[in-house]
Chains A and B, each alone.
Chain A
Amino acid sequence: GQSLEQPSEVTAVEGAIVQINCTYQTSGFYGLSWYQQHDGGAPTFLSYNGLDGLEETGRFSSFLSRSDSYGYLLLQELQMKDSASYFCAVRLPSGGSYIPTFGRGTSLIVHP
């Protein structure tokens, strides 16, 4: 089948580093995106990986390995405001096209 897998919950303390993994199964691939969503808010775009390797944006980095069908989001110097849900997303083939597909989301809880 075609799917995305990510952990349902991750906890960490302020100042720490946390990694949220995402694995996908698809016969086609269009790039891996990450979104953040706070409770009651809308998802906001964090990063995109179209090629293998690491993309860095401030405290957040995202990595992709297409050969392993695997990616991760790395959050450094965690802050309380980073407590949110994080979604990985890819476009999966469907009926001759590619449709946006999101993982179930990882709830990140940051403790003081």
Chain B
Amino acid sequence: KAGVTQTPRYLIKTRGQQVTLSCSPISGHRSVSWYQQTPGQGLQFLFEYFSETQRNKGNFPGRFSGRQFSNSRSEMNVSTLELGDSALYLCASSLAGTGDTDTQYFGPGTRLTVL
């Protein structure tokens, strides 16, 4: 099975711009979660989608949004970029997102740099 794929892998934007990141989960996985990883804050949960519905949301401002499509692919959008948004954005997929195992499979991430 192919793993989780994320596009683009690298992105450079300037303050005030917006960005859309894409994630394709493992075939058959219906849950997609997004994380922001920075050296100072570690892995921070952004949101989780299951069957096109946002099931959970982390503590991030409304500039961060996402959606999931009927084929389970997901996108996240960040509007009005700030310097502090520079980070590695990771997408993870799982079969159902909850339950006993909660095994998440991570993609390679999108490295976003905001200038």
Contacts and interface: CB of A to CB of B under 8 A. Distances in A.
A42 B103 CA distance: 14
For the complex of A and B, the 10 pairs showing the least CB-CB separation, nearest first, are A102-B43, A42-B106, A104-B42, A43-B106, A50-B100, A99-B56, A45-B103, A97-B56, A100-B45, A42-B108
A75 to B, nearest CB: 19
A25 interface: no
Interface residues of B, number: 23
A42 B111 CA distance: 12
- A contact patch SS: strand
B105 interface: yes
B43 A43 contact: yes
Nearest to B40: A104
Contacts of A83: none
Nearest to B104: A45
Interface residues of A, number: 24
Interface of B: 33, 35, 42-43, 45, 48, 55-58, 90, 92, 98, 100-109
Contact of A101 (B45, B92, B98, B105): B45
Contacts of B42: 87, 102-105
A57 interface: no
B76 to A, nearest CB: 15
Contacts of A41: 108
Contacts of A48: 100-103
A66 interface: no
A44 B104 CA distance: 8
Task: Name the residue among A33, A45, A87, A103 with the largest chain B CB count within 10 angstroms.
Answer: A45
Nearest to A44: B106
A100 B48 contact: yes
Contacts of B33: 100
B103 A43 contact: no
A85 to B, nearest CB: 9
Interface string A18-51: 0000000000001101010000011111001010
A43 B94 CA distance: 14
A98 B98 contact: yes
